[in-house]
Structure 1
Amino acid sequence: MFIQAVAKPAFDLVRIVAKPVFDLAKTEIFAKLETAFVLAYLFLYSKGIIVLVLTGGATEGDGAADWDFGILTLFWMFNYLVTASLVILKWDVLKDRFLAIICHNYFFWVFLMFVMLSTIWSEKPQETIKASIGLIGTVLFGVYIVCRYTFKEQINILLIFFGIVLVTSILFMGVPGYGIDTGKHAGAIRGIYSHKNIFGQAMTLSTATFLIYTKAKFCVDRRLAYLGFATSFAMVVGSKSSSSLLYTILLIALIHAIEVLRFRGQLFAWSLVSLASLYFFIVTWQETIMNFILGLLGKDPTLTGRTDIWDVILSKIQERLWLGYGFDGFWHGIYGESFYVRNAVRWDLPNSHNGFLDLALGLGIIGLALLMLTLWITLIKGLVLLKTDFSWIHVWPVMFIFYTLMINMSESSLGGQNSSQTIFLTIAVTTTSIEFSKLFGPAAQLND
């Protein structure tokens, strides 16, 4: 293989020069430091604590013009550097999985190349370059996690991460002006995050992950797992995020449906139909469902203004239908194309509150199609894995793909740089391809 032929001599040379460091990388204490590094950066990529502290506990409507987030850029750059260094140091251990990941998931890699190419036609080429580097660095971190740890170890790391988020959020609830919102959404729990919706999304994923763990054979302490599940769900309710509550209920229903159907024998086709029907039901009746929930909660049934801006967004997408405005080339306040949207809806928008629309704005229909094909192929592979070798550990990627498809109908977290959602997506996509290849081998790979 050409890649391996070129890479091997380079890594051999580095090993000779830095042999003491490579020897250190094989020690147990180094392995513990690696895990600590991964957990710390999952926490940072989720924007936990640091954004809340940098803004002084500011709430929605306070404005962000004078807040300096420059330190975050330093954190991200440090992560890219350390991750690349770890890949080199651990190359003997990581190379098989790393090369397997590179040789599969073709649409995903084409999508990343398309992101970088969008600099050519971007409205904000400098911003596109920076954002592209950020996305590549974020994906590399996710790939490193998949190469370094087994699937079970990855799930355990995620459980520890969500456990830390839960504990620190509960602690922050006791800090005035931080853990509980005091502004527009007074009384809503936001934990260690700057907004209740961000916290709600994190707790939605935490609830589903703990629920899957309660059913897994490798679950060490089911009582603790159920406690994590119950606490996470309580936090979703406490966040007063209507969309997060809806998506949490739907994911719980999905997981229980998978438990009943089990994707075996003649039930496989019925399982596919049921899951597809569930998703299309959500897409078709999302606004009606949301309005019903909002009505029960006594809130304005307009998806908090989201539906008012989507028509304007669609008109801007049509102006650059195929290629878009460049990755991260649209939303720049009064200094970008976003000015026209802001002027039309009289609202200082940070994004369109819809991940699919934002991706189409940045990369056009082509970019959106590339990522959607990646998600679709991953979902199909995940379902085939469940049919062939049912294991609760294989449920997590399927659950996360559904979570991604649902949550991006009302929030924007699809394909973003320096985001924990992108790391989780990378884990779901690449781990599924590895698990799939283990069962079916190269000859039986789906042509992705």
Structure 2
Amino acid sequence: MKIAKAGFVSPDHNFRYGFVAVAISVFVFAYSTRFGQVAVLAYYALWLPLVLVDYRHSLGNYAKFYWIIAFGLLAVLSVFWSAAPGVTARAGVQYMSHIVCALIAARTMNVRTMTLGMLAGICLVVLYSLAFGGYHYDPIDGGYSFVGAFASKNLLGFFSSLGIYFAFACLFILRERGVWRLLGLACIGLSGYALIASQSATSIIATAGTLGLMIGLSVIFLFAPRTRKALLLAGLLLGLGLAFVGLNFGGVDLLLGAFGKDATLTGRTYLWAEGLEAARQSPIFGVGYQAYWVQGFSEAERLWEEFYIGSRSGFHFHNTYIEVLVELGFVGLALLTLIVVRVPVGHLMRILDDRDDRASHIMFGIAAMLLLRSFFEVDVIHPYAIGSFMLYYAAGLLATSQSTRRLVSRQHYQANHA
């Protein structure tokens, strides 16, 4: 029996395969540390074979994606100056291959497939956590919180945030009906419960901020295209003004107090200071990708002990930019910032010009959530993580669409001047 290639690599014909592939990938991102190499190999088996099915469509010309893969390439190359070359070599290859899988997904899966697959995967993740998870005592917070089957309440909170957002996208952007609407409602219920139980302030604030931003964007769409940009600028200035007031007149303290946190973000500000001090040792290229939090290294051991991290792993500076500054220096910081900022701005510009661009509408929300979280969490610089997968998927979708539009414009010009 001959199976058509379109059933695997064509975004308009591969919904069944894509739905399953995305759902399984989400489960792997959540629990790869629990299930080990088998889960990671399953993830690779879902995406890399698509290159063999149709390598032209799956890969495309990666030279056009230079701004997307530059940070991953630097992570791989940092093995040459890494303080722990063995760790960097392994992690760098894993991260770069993870980027490739996300870009393959961007070229072969449309946003509807991605959204519904994410909903199914996140429902599985939350159900697994509810069935087999438990509570964890945080010696810094001084209280118990539900962590599910994760090692951290912030990870459970992040997946719950994504579940709520994709359910919002399913119901109000894609406007799905029937069974998919029921799936969206189920995901809101499960993710909402898990988010509250996790008591992750970062995730709750990021979820509320992202949904508020998307609702505000919907209001802007009621106006003409020229007016939209003026309103967006006014909204941006208002947001900066509120942030200034919050930082200087106690607004942040009140917000954190509502979640039982203090102004130090439960030790984060101390970690940030330690990270900035560490970055001064190798400011240009850093100590190497994932070469700081290594067992046996004195500074890492000291911070693990101070923050009661008995496993001596899975810890970071709770700030994406400081983490990158330590590992890959100012060069890495510039390359990552290029992606983190360009993706939401690029999708925003597209939807301001075309309000019916649902793909960019959904991807803008995801990129905005990742940007909000980047100041307090590290979601996008690790392999086999849902945050990095979604960032590079959104970037690949933006770059692919740009390339397609340039090709159409070139063909139109040639046709008119033949």
- How much has 1:118 moved relative to structure 2? 0.8
Instruction: Confirm whether residue 384 of structure 1 aligns to residue 384 of structure 2.
Output: no
1:315 is matched with 277
Instruction: Tell me, yes or no, if the aligned pair for 2:319 and 2:376 is still in contact at 8 Å.
Output: yes
Counterpart amino acid of residue 89 in structure 2: I
Structure 1 residues 73-128: Cα deviation after superposition (integer angstroms, max 9, x where no partner) = 4532454366333311233xxx246315x243322222222111111111011111
Correspondence 1:247-258 to 2 at 5 A: 247-258=206-217
Measure, in 2, the Cα distance between the counterparts of 1:188 and 1:342.
20
Specify every segment of 5 or more residues in structure 1 that has no aligned partner in the other structure, as ranges.
1-19, 55-70
Secondary structure at the aligned position of 2:267 is classed as helix
Q: Which runs of 5+ in 2 are unaligned?
A: 411-418
Counterpart of 2:73 in structure 1 is 113
Cα distance per residue 1:184-242 (max 9 Å; x no partner): 67653333323211111111122122112221244124465345335423432221111
The answer as to 2:266 corresponding to 1:304 is yes
Deviations 1:275-330 (A, max 9, x none): 47537855984795553233234444421111122112111111211100111111
Give the residue type in structure 2 aligned to 1:321.
P
Q: Is the 8 A contact 1:146 1:154 kept in 2?
A: no
Hey, what's the Cα distance between the residues in 1 that align with 2:257 and 2:77? 45
377-386 or 269-278: bigger deviation:
269-278
**Correspondent of 1:188 among 119, 123, 145:** 145
1:127-146, aligned counterparts within 5 Å?
127-146=87-106
- Count of residue correspondences: 393
Write the distance in 2 (CA, Å) between the matches of 1:282 and 1:166: 33
Amino acid of the structure 2 residue aligned with 1:314 = L
1:366 pairs with 310, 314, 331, which one?
331
- Tell me what 1:72 maps to: 36
**Structure 2 partner of 1:406:** 372
Question: 1:346 deviation in Å?
Answer: 6.7
Normalising by the residue count of structure 2, what TM-score does the alignment of the two structures yield?
Answer: 0.82
Q: CA deviation at 1:417?
A: 1.6
Listed one character per residue, the Cα deviations across residues 254-275 of structure 1 (whole Å, up to 9, x for unaligned) are 1111111128222213314524
Task: Please tell me whether residue 45 in structure 1 is matched to residue 35 in structure 2.
Answer: no
Conserved 8 A contact 1:204-1:244: yes
**Distance of 1:125 and 1:99 partners within structure 2:** 31
The CA deviation at 1:347 is 5.7
**Alignment partners' CA distance in 2, 1:157 and 1:393:** 15
Q: Distance in 2 between matches of 1:283 and 1:418?
A: 36
Partner SS for 2:60 = helix
Classify 1:36/1:303 alpha carbon distance in 2 versus 1 (closer, same or farther; 3 Å): same
- Distance 1:182-1:117 versus aligned 2 partners, 3 A rule: closer
TM-score by length of 1: 0.77
Instruction: Summarize the alignment of residues 3-402 of structure 1 with structure 2, pairs less than 5 Å apart.
Output: 23-24=2-3, 26=5, 32=16, 35-47=19-31, 51=33, 54=34, 72-77=36-41, 79-80=43-44, 83-91=47-55, 95-96=56-57, 98-99=59-60, 102-170=62-130, 172=131, 175=132, 178-181=133-136, 188-221=145-178, 222=181, 224-262=183-221, 264-275=225-236, 278=239, 285=246, 291-335=253-297, 337-339=299-301, 348=309, 350-391=315-356, 392-402=358-368
Identity value in percent: 18
Deviates more, 1:221-230 or 1:351-360: 221-230
SS in 2 for 1:188: strand
RMSD after superposition: 3.2
Contact 1:97 1:434 in 2 (8 A): no
Kindly provide the amino acid, as one letter, of the partner of residue 36 in structure 1: V
CA distance in 2, matches of 1:205, 1:289: 26
Cα-to-partner distance string for 1:23-51 (whole Å, 9 max, x where unaligned): 4574969965664344222211122xx64
Structure 2: how far apart are the matches of 1:223 and 1:282?
Answer: 37
Alpha-carbon distance in 1 for matches of 2:245, 2:367: 18
CA contact (8 A) 2:107 2:400 kept: no
* 8 Å contact kept, 1:39–1:161: yes
Say whether the 8 Å CA contact 2:58–2:104 is kept in structure 1: no
- The one-letter code matched in structure 2 to 1:83 is W
SS in structure 2 at match of 1:323: coil
Report what 1:7 is aligned to. none
